[in-house]
Chains A and B, each alone.
Chain A
Amino acid sequence: NAGVTQTPKFQVLKTGQSMTLQCAQDMNHNSMYWYRQDPGMGLRLIYYSASEGTTDKGEVPNGYNVSRLNKREFSLRLESAAPSQTSVYFCASSTLNFLDRGSYTFGSGTRLTVV
């Protein structure tokens, strides 16, 4: 089924460890996004990539880096994990079509715990 695939689904890290969250979409979308979801705070944008070759910071970028590997793949890296980064991470994609802006396809999420 076409959609957005995130790996891994679950991860436990120790403080200071690094890891990369993977995201791939087969929707032929140009734009991709990383959000984190925390209780009572909704979803907050970490980084986004409007199109292949570009990335920009969102609302909460500190402690994260991203790579837009190609049109399909957009990865999120935690260089030195902290307990404050315990969260559920969602990747999403959308077209560049102005009339379709805001209509995202989401992955099923990565639940990350930093101890």
Chain B
Amino acid sequence: AQSVTQLGSHVSVSEGALVLLRCNYSSSVPPYLFWYVQYPNQGLQLLLKYTTGATLVKGINGFEAEFKKSETSFHLTKPSAHMSDAAEYFCAVTDSWGKLQFGAGTQVVVTP
């Protein structure tokens, strides 16, 4: 079975500071890993994904994530937070049939 655990339900960062959102996964098969973002009153949209190959994955809006098999982690980072990054972020893993299993989410607040 597949599962993900997101550490921290709320994260507050200052504008211009590093954004770091933590995600650990459990998977019985080689994982496909994802980060999705949800802006207020909207659906989720794909931020980035890891399938195979390069372990450092770059996504939209300056975000990137690194797959570390030895640590079963897929943490999301952005070097410099912007006010527009305020949103909820979800880490997810697929099973072999393509169904996504989501983490509980991390709400990001950006302060001026």
Q: Which residue on B lies nearest to A59, using beta carbons? A: B101
Q: Decide: B99 and A48 in contact? CB cutoff 8 A.
A: yes
Interface residues of B (CB under 8 A from A): 9, 32, 34, 41-46, 49, 51, 90, 92-94, 97-105
A43 to B105, CA, bound (A): 9
A4 to B43, CA, bound (A): 10
Q: Which residue on B lies nearest to A35, using beta carbons? A: B102
- Using A40-B9, A102-B34 as known contacts, say yes or no to A94 and B98 having CB atoms under 8 A apart: yes
Q: Decide: A101 and B102 in contact? CB cutoff 8 A.
A: no
- Using A42-B103, A43-B102, A45-B99 as known contacts, say yes or no to A102 and B92 having CB atoms under 8 A apart: yes
Pick from B43, B98, B100: contact of A109, CB under 8 Å: B43
Contact flags A41-55 to B (C-beta < 8 A → 1, else 0)? 111110010100000
Chain A residues 4-32 with CB under 8 Å of chain B are 4, 31
Q: Which residue on A lies nearest to B34, using beta carbons? A: A102
What count of chain A residues pass the 8 Å CB interface test? 27
Q: Decide: A90 and B99 in contact? CB cutoff 8 A.
A: no
A42 to B44, CA, bound (A): 11
Q: Which residue on A lies nearest to B90, using beta carbons? A: A42
A102 to B57, CA, bound (A): 16
Chain A residues 95-115 with CB under 8 Å of chain B are 96, 98-99, 101-104, 106-109
Complex interface: chain B residues within 8 A of A58 (CB):
99
Interface residues of A (CB under 8 A from B): 4, 31, 33, 35, 40-45, 48, 50, 58, 90, 92, 94, 96, 98-99, 101-104, 106-109
Complex interface: chain A residues within 8 A of B105 (CB):
40, 42
Please name 24 pairs of A and B residues whose Cβ atoms are closer than 8 Å in the assembled complex, sorted by A: A33-B99, A40-B9, A40-B104, A43-B44, A43-B100, A44-B102, A45-B99, A50-B97, A58-B99, A99-B51, A101-B97, A101-B98, A102-B32, A102-B34, A102-B92, A102-B94, A102-B98, A102-B100, A103-B46, A104-B44, A104-B100, A106-B45, A109-B41, A109-B43
